[in-house]
Structure 1
Amino acid sequence: MATETKTGGVDQPRSYSVPMIITLGFLVSMGALHLDPIASSLPAMATALGVAKNATVYTVSAFFFGMMIGHIAIGPFSDIFGRKKTILFGLVLLAIGSASCAIAPSMQILLAARALQGLGGAAVMCTGRAVGGDAGKGKASASMLSYMQVVSAVTPIIMPLLGQSVSAAFDWRAVFWAMAMMNVALIVAVALFLKETSSTAGREGAFSSLAKDLKVVFTQPGFILFAMTFGFGISTFFCYVGASAFVFQNELHMDPGTFSVLFSGLAASMVVGGLVSSFFTRRFEPFAFVVTVFILQCIDAATVIYLFKTGQATIPVIAVLFGFIACTTSIVIPVGLSLALSESGAIKGSAAAFCGFAQYCFSMIVTSFLGTVKATGSVGQACGVAMVVTTLGAIITAFAGRAVIRKRDAALSADTSKLPAQNAH
């Protein structure tokens, strides 16, 4: 890995090795690695634990809750102790949480264990994103995060099929044991391939210095708004993830095995989205690119509402509409994240943590909303409504963020233009 240098005060992009990029791709895939394997098992879990048929969607919400808290409680540590140590700590928590899920005797214990998984996943995911952000500013970070997304997009293809195969051969508890083994494998990969990229870890007075940096970054409304844009954008995808098992199996009457194949097929579109993102991020301005995607997603979500409301929803059509959400999420993740991280200065670990907090806060709310749908209600229609809300939220905060940044830059430019006249005077 090349060392970051400065020329004329401009940060030069870092270059990462191929094994490191592949490892990072898996590290930022915590959602796919710990949500997708159990997607087809959610109805069966409800039966085994004696709860309502769609109540196990709360296992998704519990994971999101842990991710939300973990991003704030653990995420910033990578700026103090280093990226690699923070990732290893998170993977250990994930392994423990996965094993706890496997032996959970009740729904309540299972939810607590899922939250523990989320805590570990937050440390891993946000720190992995911070390593991608360390590659440089603007197009440099967007490009590196897009390469990571291409690798990450492979996991949603494999994980549903793996989860279904394991649960069919054994039961849903065995899926959590498989998750624990995957986390151990990632510990080995991180130890072998991941290099430290933090420029702030280990510095003298790290806590006080971080507090000062945080005060600067988190008083920037542009960063806050772009972080919210990212959070809204990713929660659109988790509306689909949280609802899909119930939409296809309960409402459209698809069997679990066929659903797993379909779910993996839809996930394959994320690879296409990642390739599209890696191509266009080097050629187009990130803001316009990602806002265009949000608008198209909003139209897609409105169509989902219409089809379920009018009783015209069919498996092929809903699969195409959900597939578009999956595909374009591979654009939203790297491009939306790069907008926020480019405003964060050196403390990209803390900035990525806040972006993740926004992501999982919004995702927890929308998946909890889906869990409240009554047995006689339509989860598909509720999913469409939630996706319209999240896409509109992303569009509004994106434009608001750009407006305040332009206003700030104009003010700085005006102040700079006065300096020569003041010095001459």
Structure 2
Amino acid sequence: MRKSGPAGVRRIPRQRSRPARGAGSARGAAAAGQRRTSLLVTLILGGMTAVPPLSMDMYLPALPEVGRSLGSSAATVQLTLTACLTGLALGQLVIGPMSDRWGRRRPLLAGMVVYVIATALCALAPGSGVLIALRLVQGLAGSAGIVIARAVVRDLYDGNAMARFFSTLMLISGVAPIIAPVVGGQVLRITDWRGVFVVLTLIGAAITFASWRWLGETLPPEQRHGGAALGGTLRTMRGLLADRVFTGYMLTSSFAFAALFAYVAASAFVVQEIYGASPQMFSLLFGINSVGLIGVSQINGKILVGRVSLDKVLAFGLAVITVAATALLLMTSGVFGTVGLVPVASALFVLMSAMGLAMPNTNAQALMRTRHAAGSASALLGTSTFLAGAVASPLVGIAGEDTAVPMAVVQLVCALAAVLSFLLLCRPWQRRETPPPTEVVAEPERRDGAERREGTERREGTERREGAES
């Protein structure tokens, strides 16, 4: 009997078209095994994906105080945000391929340990230059959480099941942008801006410990790959980008995220300065939009996935985003005359909620195209989305401070670009539907004797799932 490899969560082997005797019960056991993923592991993966928004948003209320404390201009303090965002984008290009070569646990734990150290040092930074450098390191290391979380999901799931799990992760990680500014503001009531980094250090340490203690390895040695570090990485990424469909989903996800980030970057100014709402009203509207995004993502995962194809749900989500962005542009440009806050806020709510249909399904469909390079694929997805957000965010202020038109224009252009990427590159009408959730794409090459081991693999499939709970 073949050894089952290192302990931890593993993918369930694919059931073949001509199953051996008893394969029906094995298939049912495999499906049940997928559904029994530990709640604790789900929470850990959700915490890993929440690291970037926590690192960015919890710090926002402290920006003015940082400038006063360090004697820096507003522009210099803003660079601390840019540095962190840049690190989060570029770090994934390094850590993702590392996880394909050495497994998921070691790069994750190394990255999170460095994140904790860098965050603690941010609390001790004597000047803005040091703080900017440390925030860059913090972002580079913190990217391990989100890029490896996506790769782990790809190791565990395929097809509709993967889309469901991404919707669950969005429920957990989507709460972070809602509560992070609130937590940061409350921390500032009892201490200074350095206390925010102390809290982030404790959160990072908790996620690191939980990952070390309860998250098993999900990529066994026989499924790892890579030649020379740089050469293997470049070959892998070149192969992924040569896949037209993968690139299409990657661009669709990136443009959709850019539309979302345009909202994040401009919403406070638009709601408070242009429409005269109070900070409390802005916080309420921001929270409502976030709840809409999370709620629709749960409808996607709990109701739509498995009943409607992922591409159809994605197409509907992109259509709603485009219509909402068009309505927003018409309202803010004066086509309908003077329009108050309620119609504008309603259009933003619809646009943000539809992101709950687009984001989980683009990630799932893109990762469906990979087999042994989930880390590299996750890195490309993460880097492209963060870079798209970094490019979109400054564009919303190019026309001055008395109009919301730039935000609406950026969102509409990004929505149209996402639609074109989906239609021209993904071409869903030319492809088969995704495999059922109990099926995982087979390896491209099998060693001699693999067919004889097939029955054993079926029996061991469910047992491998239980490693994360031990």
TM-score strictly above 0.5: yes
Partner of 2:162: 141
Contact 1:26 1:152 in 2 (8 A): yes
- Code of the residue aligned with 1:5 in structure 2: it is P
CA distance in 2, matches of 1:342, 1:204: 18
CA distance in 2, matches of 1:149, 1:142: 11
Structure 2 residue 51 is matched with structure 1 residue 51: no
CA distance in 1, matches of 2:192, 2:428: 52
Which string of whole-angstrom CA distances, capped at 9 and with x for unpartnered residues, describes residues 363-419 of structure 1? Answer: 110123246564x443x332222211211111111112223993899xxxxxxxxxx
CA distance in 2, matches of 1:312, 1:104: 48
- Counterpart of 1:191 in 2: which secondary structure? helix
> In the TM superposition, what is the alpha-carbon distance from 1:350 to its structure 2 partner?
0.6
Which consecutive residues of structure 1, in runs of 5 or more, have no partner in the other structure? 410-425
CA distance in 1, matches of 2:154, 2:296: 20
Residues 123 and 395 of structure 1, relative CA distance in 2, 3 Å threshold:
same
Partner of 1:416: none
User: What pairs with 1:301-320 in structure 2 (closer than 5 Å)?
Assistant: 301-310=325-334, 312=338, 314-320=340-346
> In the TM superposition, what is the alpha-carbon distance from 1:147 to its structure 2 partner?
2.0
Partner of 1:195: 216
Which string of whole-angstrom CA distances, capped at 9 and with x for unpartnered residues, describes residues 322-360 of structure 1? Answer: 333433333322111011111122211110110111101
Largest Rg, 1 or 2: 2
Residues 122 and 205 of structure 1, relative CA distance in 2, 3 Å threshold:
closer
Contact 1:58 1:368 in 2 (8 A): no
> In the TM superposition, what is the alpha-carbon distance from 1:107 to its structure 2 partner?
4.8
Partner of 1:184: 205
Contact 1:29 1:125 in 2 (8 A): yes
Contact 2:272 2:279 in 1 (8 A): yes
Out of 389, 401, 404, the residue aligned to residue 363 of structure 1 is 389
Structure 2 residue 260 is matched with structure 1 residue 237: yes
Which string of whole-angstrom CA distances, capped at 9 and with x for unpartnered residues, describes residues 62-83 of structure 1? Answer: 3321122111122211111211
Contact 2:178 2:286 in 1 (8 A): yes
Partner of 1:7: 15
Which string of whole-angstrom CA distances, capped at 9 and with x for unpartnered residues, describes residues 104-154 of structure 1? Answer: 455554443333232123221011011112223321211222222222223
Out of 342, 361, 365, the residue aligned to residue 335 of structure 1 is 361
Out of 415, 418, 422, the residue aligned to residue 394 of structure 1 is 418
Which string of whole-angstrom CA distances, capped at 9 and with x for unpartnered residues, describes residues 261-288 of structure 1? Answer: 4433432223312211212122111122
Partner of 2:409: 385
> In the TM superposition, what is the alpha-carbon distance from 1:303 to its structure 2 partner?
3.1
* Deviation larger for 112-121 or 36-45: 36-45
Out of 352, 358, 361, the residue aligned to residue 378 of structure 2 is 352
**Aligned residue pair count:** 406
Out of 350, 353, 362, the residue aligned to residue 324 of structure 1 is 350
Structure 2 residue 245 is matched with structure 1 residue 222: yes
Aligned-residue identity in percent: 24
Out of 293, 313, 324, the residue aligned to residue 270 of structure 1 is 293
> In the TM superposition, what is the alpha-carbon distance from 1:59 to its structure 2 partner?
4.4
Residues 66 and 50 of structure 1, relative CA distance in 2, 3 Å threshold:
same
User: What pairs with 1:276-315 in structure 2 (closer than 5 Å)?
Assistant: 276-278=299-301, 279-310=303-334, 312=338, 314-315=340-341
CA distance in 2, matches of 1:351, 1:405: 23
Partner of 1:421: none
Contact 2:100 2:226 in 1 (8 A): no
Out of 150, 155, 159, the residue aligned to residue 129 of structure 1 is 150
CA distance in 1, matches of 2:134, 2:280: 26
Which string of whole-angstrom CA distances, capped at 9 and with x for unpartnered residues, describes residues 71-104 of structure 1? Answer: 1122211111211222222222332343344444
What do you get for the CA RMSD once the two structures are aligned? 3.2
Which consecutive residues of structure 2, in runs of 5 or more, have no partner in the other structure? 1-8, 20-26, 434-470
Q: TM-score, normalised by structure 1?
A: 0.83
